[in-house]
Amino acid sequence: MGGIADHGFKAFLNRKGPVTKIEDMGKYKWRVIPNELFLDTYKAMGASPITLPWPEVFSALQRGVIDGIDITPNECWGAKVYEVIKYMSLCKLGMNPIVYVASQKFLDRLSPDLRAIVIKGMKEAAKWHTAKIRQEDATVVMPDLKKKGVIINYVTDEELARFRKAVASVHKKWRQKVGTDLYDQAIAFLKEYRTR
């Protein structure tokens, strides 16, 4: 693996109301990525998730087929989702890492010095990518979302603890399913990034 970047933490975006406590999750129709982990997580939070592919999300929000989604502020801004939502609840519950990788077959064909350059380049690109997103979020994205009328709130630490407690059974299930090493690495990654 060359490096890990991200677009920041996901937020709950909603067209009807903010998320301030876990009970709010059951009030709205949430779009989730069509996979078992996301379905398990949203059900554990008291929601009835609806699976939709990304190209259908914008129009589904417009038409009221769904009320909310979870994406990062940067992704909301880039895809102009602010045009069809009103509320953004910041929570730092999850993120989608972007992994810079190269095939082993490709790397094995390179001389050791070129292989080192490629791996170093992937790590530097990932680091630059993350820093650029953080800078863009602080100076462009969040101010512009507020200017466009998005109402932004932060979910309190006490409520976040309730969210984490609600999904504890999902963590247990998926720790067994993906293996303890991978699970523990993912949790360590999240803990580290939450402090930044």
Q: Which two tokens stand for residue 138?
A: 């602080």
Per-residue pLDDT of the chain (196 residues; tens, 9 = 90+): 568 888 889 999 999 999 999 999 999 999 999 899 999 999 999 998 999 999 999 999 999 999 999 999 999 999 999 999 999 999 988 887 888 888 999 999 999 999 999 999 999 999 999 999 999 999 999 999 999 999 999 999 999 999 999 999 999 999 999 899 888 888 887 787 777 6
**Residue closest to 10 by CA, chosen among 33, 40, 43, 36:** 33
Contact 31, 57 (CB under 8 A): yes
Q: Which two tokens stand for residue 165?
A: 């407690």
Contact 68, 28 (CB under 8 A): yes
Contact 66, 31 (CB under 8 A): yes
Residues 6+ apart with CB under 8 A from 169: 44
pLDDT number for residue 182: 86
Domains and CATH numbers, the chain: 3-194 (3.40.190.170)
pLDDT number for residue 196: 67
HSE-up (13 A, CA, CB side) for residue 155? 27
Q: Rounded CA gap, 84 and 97, in Å?
A: 25
What pTM did the predictor assign?
A: 0.87
pLDDT number for residue 187: 84
